[in-house]
Amino acid sequence: MNISIFLIGFVFFLVGVSVWLLPTFKLGIYLLEWDFLSLKFNFYFNSVLFSFILLLVTFSVLIFSTYYLNSELNFNYYYFVLLIFVGSMFSLNFSNSIFTMLLSWDLLGISSFFLVLFYNNWDSCSGAMNTALTNRLGDYFMFVFFGLSVFSGYYFLSFSMFSSYMSLLLLLTAFTKSAQFPFSSWLPKAMSAPTPVSSLVHSSTLVTAGLILLMNFNNLVLQKSFISFVLIIGLFTMFFSSLASLVEEDLKKVVALSTLSQMGFSMVTLGLGLSFISFIHLVSHALFKSCLFMQVGYIIHCSFGQQDGRNYSNNGNLPNFIQLQMLVTLFCLCGLIFSSGAVSKDFILELFFSNNYMLFFSLMFFVSVFLTFGYSFRLWKSFFLSFNKVMNHYSSTVFMNFLSLALVIFSIGFLWWLNFNLLNVPSLFLYVDFFGPLVFLFMMIFLSFMVLKMLFKELTYKFLVDYLAKNSIYKMKNLKFMDLFLNNINSKGYTLFLSAGIFKNYYMKSLNFNSVVILIFIFFMIC
> Tell me: the pLDDT tens digits for 280-329?
888 888 888 888 888 888 888 877 777 777 777 666 667 777 778 888 88
pLDDT attached to residue 24: 67
Averaged pLDDT, 199-225 = 80
pTM of this structure: 0.75
- Lowest-pLDDT range, 28-37, 114-123, 189-198, 236-245? 28-37
| Least confident residue range of 258-272, 332-346, 385-399 | 385-399
Q: What is the pLDDT of residue 160?
A: 66
Question: DSSP 3-state assignment of 32?
Answer: strand
Question: Minimal CA–CA distance to 383: which of 375, 406, 331?
Answer: 375
466 pLDDT band, cuts 50/70/90, is low
pLDDT above 60 for 428: no
| Contacting residues for 526 by C-beta, under 8 A, at least 6 apart | none
**Tens digit of each residue's pLDDT (9 = 90 or more) over 217-259:** 877 777 777 888 888 899 999 998 988 888 888 888 888 888 8
Question: What pLDDT score was predicted for residue 430?
Answer: 45
* In contact, 183 and 264? CB cutoff 8 Å: no
For helices 359-384 and 224-247, what crossing angle results, to 10°? 30
Q: Are 197 and 118 in contact (CB under 8 A)?
A: yes
Rounded average pLDDT over 9-27: 61
Question: Higher-confidence residue: 502 or 353?
Answer: 353
Q: Quick one: pLDDT at residue 479?
A: 57
Classify 156 in phi/psi space as left (phi over 0), alpha (psi -120 to 50) or beta: left
Name, in order, each residue with C-beta under 8 angstroms of 28's C-beta and a sequence gap of 6 or more. 40, 41, 42, 43, 96
Mean pLDDT of the chain: 76
Residues 135, 176: contact at Cβ < 8 Å? yes
Angle at 335 between CA 331 and CA 341, to 5 degrees: 105
Query: What SS3 class is residue 42?
Result: strand
Range with lowest mean pLDDT among 27-41, 163-177, 507-521: 507-521
State how far the Cα of 375 lies from the Cα of 510, in Å rounded to an integer. Answer: 66
Which residues face 308 on adjacent strands? 250
Q: Could you tell me the pLDDT band of residue 98, with boundaries at 50, 70 and 90?
A: confident
For 2, 186, 188, 192, 480, the CA distances from 124, given in Å and listed in that order, are 63, 12, 11, 5, 70
Residue 358: what pLDDT?
Answer: 75
The distance from CA 301 to its chain's CA centroid, rounded to whole angstroms, is: 21
Confidence tier at 18 by pLDDT (50, 70, 90):
low
Judge whether residue 95 has pLDDT over 70.
yes
Q: What is the dihedral of CA 234, 237, 240, 242, to 10 degrees?
A: -90
User: DSSP string spanning 337-395?
Assistant: TTSHHHHHHHHHHHHHHTS---HHHHHHHHHHHHHHHHHHHHHHHHHHS--SS------
Q: pLDDT at residue 373 above 50?
A: yes
> Which of 201, 222, 67, 74 is closest to 128 using CA atoms?
201
For residue 28, the cross-strand partners are 42
Which of these ranges, 13-27, 49-63, 308-322, 353-367, has the smallest mean pLDDT? 13-27
526 vs 300, which has greater pLDDT?
300
Cα separation, 191 vs 254, in Å, equals: 10
**95 DSSP 8-state letter:** B
What is the per-residue pLDDT for 429? Answer: 43
In sequence order, what are the residues at sequence separation of 6 or more whose Cβ sits closer than 8 angstroms to the Cβ of residue 67?
301, 397, 399, 400, 403
Tell me the average pLDDT across 38-64. Answer: 83
With DSSP H G I counted as helix, E B as strand and the rest as coil, what are the percentages for the chain, rounded to 5?
80, 5, 15
For residues 71-84, give the mean pLDDT.
85
Cα 177 from Cα 138, distance rounded (Å): 7
Q: According to the model, what pLDDT value does residue 343 have?
A: 73
* Mean pLDDT in residue range 166-192: 85
More confident residue, 31 or 9: 31
Q: Do 50 and 14 meet the contact criterion of CB atoms below 8 Å apart?
A: no
